[in-house]
Amino acid sequence: MEFETQETHSTGCKSLPVFVSLADINDDNRPDILVANQDTDNAGIFFNVQGSYFSEQVAYSTGDKSGPQYISVVDVNDDDKPDIIVANNRGHSVGVFLNNGSGQFHAVKLYGTGDKTWPPGVAVADVNSDQKPDIVVTNQNTNTIGVFINSGHGQFSSQQLYDVPDKSGVMHPQVVDVNGDAHPDIIVANSGGANIGIFFNSGNGTFVSCTIFSTGVDSHPNSVFVADVNGDNKPDLIVGNLKTSNVGVLLNAGNGKFLNQTIYSTGVDSQPRSVFVADINCDNKPDIIVANSNKENIGIFLNFGNGIFQPQRTYATGVFTKPWSIVVGDVNDDNKPDIIFSDIANHQIVIFVML
């Protein structure tokens, strides 16, 4: 595999782009780049103009002193236009931008998560089977999960709270059915608790108490990705363990049980901040891609095909860079996956295009 570094895209002076995502938000069949700019309090959009060429950033305010840290893109008001949902860490809220068409958005509508909750992550999925996507937010400082039920037309109820074990430091959520009952469950990385927590859906959009799976003593898991990596049609857990500098793979044993994690080193003191799963070498096997925030590189673990991975291959991101958040997708329509990451040291988005 070889990658060509394309031009970088500024997110603004002192913006601190802590999260990056891909989605076609203006219905032109090209994936656009979305970014959460924590220190300039906005959600940025880089429209895909042609191939891997992107417009300058268009920024939408997430509110004064909001500190956005995470973005999900889902149509929440049933108008066939993708909307933007952000977790406002400093604003103790979730923000909803409704799409006005052609990638233009209404001003943000805020839903409070509670005093001093500091939400770092948000996911959107229909948790109560009413064909309307709901919002799930992690409240790091109060060790709770908040669920906002969609009442229709992009309006949401007050959050229903679920407790995470004390001092868990709950981070980024995923909402996926992991126990095969056709109801989406909530999966979270518990940084302070050194584990992955799962809230199983009882079937009506309410959740049973948190079940935990260890990621290792003092591991500080920062991110989790849910994907079937061993081809058994059961979703597995892939976690970035920040402090122990490794990636953990927890294979799904069925019925909501997971095997003990298998760990893969990302390098001494590499601090893997973000993990993503995609078939990066086009062999029909999902691989692991990781942003090593303290080593100026992107790491790739190629899948042997049975959920066992080769040692990490690294790709330098440049001197004085700090890769923070990572996403994979085909941005230039050549049917090859490209890597996009945010560099918080230089307040920019960088694209690695597959050659």
What is the C-alpha to C-alpha distance for residues 215 and 14, in angstroms, rounded to an integer? 33
Per residue in 80-101, pLDDT tens? 999 999 999 999 999 999 999 8
DSSP string, 16-30: -EEEEEEE--SSSSS
How do residues 193-250 score in pLDDT, each as one tens digit?
999 999 999 999 999 989 999 999 999 999 999 999 999 999 999 999 999 999 999 9
Percent of the chain whose predicted confidence (pLDDT) is above 70: 99
Q: What is the pLDDT of residues 137-173, one digit of tens each?
A: 999 999 999 999 999 999 999 999 999 987 889 999 9
Q: What is the per-residue pLDDT for 6? A: 79
Q: What is the DSSP letter of 106?
A: P
Confidence of residue 52 (pLDDT cuts 50, 70, 90): low
pLDDT grade, residue 322 (50/70/90)? very high
Backbone angles phi, psi at 21, to 5 degrees: -145, 165
pTM of the predicted protein model: 0.97
- Taking residue 225's Cβ as centre, other Cβ atoms within 10 Å add up to 26
Altogether, the residues listed in the chain come to a count of: 355
Distance of CA 86 to the CA centre of its chain: 11
pLDDT at 256: 92
Is pLDDT above 80 for 316? yes
- CB contact at 8 A, 201 and 129: no
- Cα separation, 65 vs 342, in Å, equals 21
- Separation of alpha carbons 249 and 174, rounded Å: 15
Q: State the pLDDT at residue 230.
A: 97
Beta-sheet strands, E only, within 228-296: 236-241, 246-250, 252-254, 257-258, 262-265, 272-278, 287-292
Confidence of residue 5 (pLDDT cuts 50, 70, 90): confident
